[in-house]
A and B are shown apart, each in its own frame.
Chain A
Amino acid sequence: MSNDMTDAGTQLLSEENSETLQQLRQVNERRSRGESAPIEAAEAGVPAGATIEDADNIVEANPEAKVKIGDQEFSSHDEAFAYAQSLHERGETEKLINDAYRQGIQDAAQSDQFNQNVTQSAPAEPEEDLDAKFFENPTEYLKTMGSKIRAEAKAEALHEMQVKQAETNLWQEFYTRHPDLDGFQQDCDFTLEQFNDEVATLAKTQGKQKAMDYLAQKVRAKFQTYMARQRPQEEVQRAPAQPSPSGGQRVTQQSSEKGAVDFMSQLAEYKRSKHVRS
């Protein structure tokens, strides 16, 4: 920091002043060695006890020395100081500082490092100043906002509608390809939910129709398990044949079984055959 200031001070010196500065340096060196510098310093037109930091004062004394503040150049420090004071009074000093600060930020923003930090830290979306817009022209604001919301809502609903339509078309295609599953939407939906990942992967890798076939196969497999459950697990016991209450011939119950018959049946059979022979 002090080096910067020294550099700035040095820049202000003209060629003649640099000569004076050289003399000042010599005086200081001699003083540091314990020699009597005041006399030589006085010879050089430098007040006793002056140091290198007093160079600015000497420069001030020289009418050709120039001081710069911003774009302005001043021939003396007094003028420059007066200008700085006036700036301060007008509040422009802060403006200059703010401008310089903003410029610094812009410069920094251009560097890659800063950009990385920004992307890592927070989303830098500029917020709309709704307050200002509303109070500037409330009718216009509401009109703009209204049309924006309406458009958004309609677009969103339309998108949803298109998605639904595409879904319906896809199912239609599925049922055309597998007509035996038509009317089992719930079962198909449920199965699809269950094997969603596999179906999606198949659709991506082997195409839509393969995915449909896979789903159909899964739905059918499920139906097969339902059917297997419905089949009787035990053999149904046949009820023994009962003689009809009227004693007549049995019309409704006809047994094709030629198994063992009881005594009464054998007797009836015998009587019938005897009757036929006679």
Chain B
Amino acid sequence: MDEKSAQKLNELRSYANFAPYLLPMLEKRKKAAQSRLISNYHSAADLLGPTAEIAILYDMEREILSKLKELESFNT
């Protein structure tokens, strides 16, 4: 394995170590934001804030999952 690949693998492994903590936390935050969105909509900010947050959290989740998939393909 060349140096670049080793570096990449290292990075992916660090994602894999981080994922078990990050993914449940993202899920928790998503639920909280969804609940805020449903229960409180008195102004545009009440809709914009949680909506943007949910979108960003989904984006983070997608990023982590894609890294994990990449690691899986790397290992095989």
Q: Do A and B come from one complex?
A: yes
* A contact set with B: CB distance below 8 Å: 128-131, 134, 142, 145-146, 149-150, 153-154, 156-158, 160-161, 164
Cβ-defined partner of A161 (8 Å) among B18, B45, B56, B59: B18
Cα distance A28–B43 when bound, in Å?
Answer: 64
| Nearest CB in chain B: distance from A125 CB, A | 15
Report if A156-B49 is in contact (Cβ < 8 Å); known contacts: A145-B56, A146-B56.
Answer: no
Taking a contact as CB atoms under 8 Å apart, the answer to whether A154 and B53 are in contact is: no
* B contact set with A: CB distance below 8 Å: 17-18, 21-22, 25-26, 29, 43-45, 48-49, 52-53, 56-57, 59-60
Most chain B Cβ neighbours within 10 Å, of A131, A134, A157: A157
Cα distance A71–B7 when bound, in Å?
Answer: 73
Report if A150-B43 is in contact (Cβ < 8 Å); known contacts: A130-B49, A161-B21.
Answer: no
| Chain A contact residues, majority secondary structure | helix
Cα distance A160–B53 when bound, in Å?
Answer: 21
Cα distance A201–B36 when bound, in Å?
Answer: 39
Cα distance A160–B23 when bound, in Å?
Answer: 12
B26 neighbours in A (Cβ, 8 Å): 153
A146 neighbours in B (Cβ, 8 Å): 52, 56, 59
Cβ-defined partner of B21 (8 Å) among A134, A145, A160: A160
Taking a contact as CB atoms under 8 Å apart, the answer to whether A160 and B25 are in contact is: yes
B57 neighbours in A (Cβ, 8 Å): 149, 153
Report if A153-B43 is in contact (Cβ < 8 Å); known contacts: A131-B48, A146-B56.
Answer: no
A134 neighbours in B (Cβ, 8 Å): 44-45, 48
Cβ-defined partner of A131 (8 Å) among B45, B52, B53: B45
A130 neighbours in B (Cβ, 8 Å): 44-45, 48-49
Report if A149-B45 is in contact (Cβ < 8 Å); known contacts: A160-B21, A161-B21, A164-B21.
Answer: no
Cα distance A123–B16 when bound, in Å?
Answer: 41
Cβ-defined partner of A150 (8 Å) among B18, B21, B45, B56: B56
Most chain A Cβ neighbours within 10 Å, of B17, B43, B49, B52: B52
Cα distance A128–B52 when bound, in Å?
Answer: 15
Cα distance A153–B25 when bound, in Å?
Answer: 7
Instruction: Name the CB-closest residue of A to B26.
Output: A153
B49 neighbours in A (Cβ, 8 Å): 130, 145
Taking a contact as CB atoms under 8 Å apart, the answer to whether A131 and B21 are in contact is: no
| Nearest CB in chain A: distance from B49 CB, A | 5
Taking a contact as CB atoms under 8 Å apart, the answer to whether A149 and B56 are in contact is: yes
A145 neighbours in B (Cβ, 8 Å): 49, 52-53, 56
